[in-house]
Structure 1
Amino acid sequence: MVQNEQQEASESTLRIATLFIIIVPAIMGLAASSAPEFNGLYASILGCIVGLLFIYSVFQVVTKRYNEEAQRFLHLIIVLNVSALFMLLAVWRVYGEVAWLGVVLLVVYLLALLFAIVKREYLYNAMRHPRKYPVGGRIYGAVLLAAAVIGPSSYGFAVAISSQQGSEVALSVIVSMIVPFAYLFVLVSIPAYVKAEKNQN
């Protein structure tokens, strides 16, 4: 009886998490389409993407695929990586949609994605046992440190860019702070799939 209740509670938690995680890309999509000013085209495109993610989430719940670890992690990876792209899009828009910046943000994202896929097992182990994997631990430490200091330390850069592109300084500083979090989403979500791979073997 108690075991059944615990299982039902666990399933309920998974259902809620599967549906409510869509809030992350929804907020990031809203930010990307609204900053520094609202753009209807971006809002329509990003809204459609969020809508598809919501349908995907509902499908996960209706078919109870959230009970399958591999499907659950795959859903998480897709949602967080789309969120990361939305975050980078918001940064690019705030800084005036400068071409070179967009290329840099996208290239770094693709490199992080490739690195996370190729080295997913190493990164997974580094997250679980940072002392045994010092290089991987340093990578995560560097990203977290960047997340903590990049906003304040980039104030002068933000002021310079803002004066050229016409963006608000405060907004520029805020979006500067979310850049490392976007890449952190990639470096954390994809290696987590290794757990599902190991359990399948």
Structure 2
Amino acid sequence: MEKVKLRRTLLNTRQSMSSQEWREKSDRLCSHLQNSILFTQAKTILAYFSFRQEPDLSPLFANTKYRWGFPRCVDKSIYWHIYTPNDSVQSGAYGITEPHPDAPLLDAAEVDLILVPSVGCDYQGYRLGYGGGYYDRLLSLPQWQAKTTIGIVFDFAYLPQIPIDPWDKPLQAVSTETGLTQRG
């Protein structure tokens, strides 16, 4: 199945979940994440604000043991801003919640872990995104290539194989509500 059709199918499945099912699965996913060594060893973690029933990671953000960074999309680039739970946010590109442009920026050298929003992931660690290429471009930059990455999806979107392009880079791990799987 080509990427466009697969993306549409997975997004429809995700958006057809009841809010109770979405909340329960999101909470289980958060529990697996926060118990993983990749997570507990990190100090600065890049995350995202849930959009269109993406797995909701917000229960994790109150943990002040970690320094949190959130994306702001500008043109074709992602800028990462430091975020604390009381910071103001705004609706940005595509209607996605993002930090205020004045929030302090995070440098790539400070980042230990990236929680990557995904439409789907496969057992080899490849990610199906939303088609904008933001994370593909980011993860191909030299200062980001060695970062630990965890794809975040619900279990129905964790597939044996997804179509890949030459520029796709596998993530180190994938987390679902049933557990976290490291590649390799």
Q: TM-score range, shorter-chain basis? A: under 0.3
TM-score when scaled to structure 1? 0.24
Q: Which has the larger radius of gyration?
A: 1
Q: Whose RCO is larger (CA < 8 A, sep 6+)?
A: 1
Structure having the larger proportion of residues in strand: 2
Structure having the larger proportion of residues in helix: 1
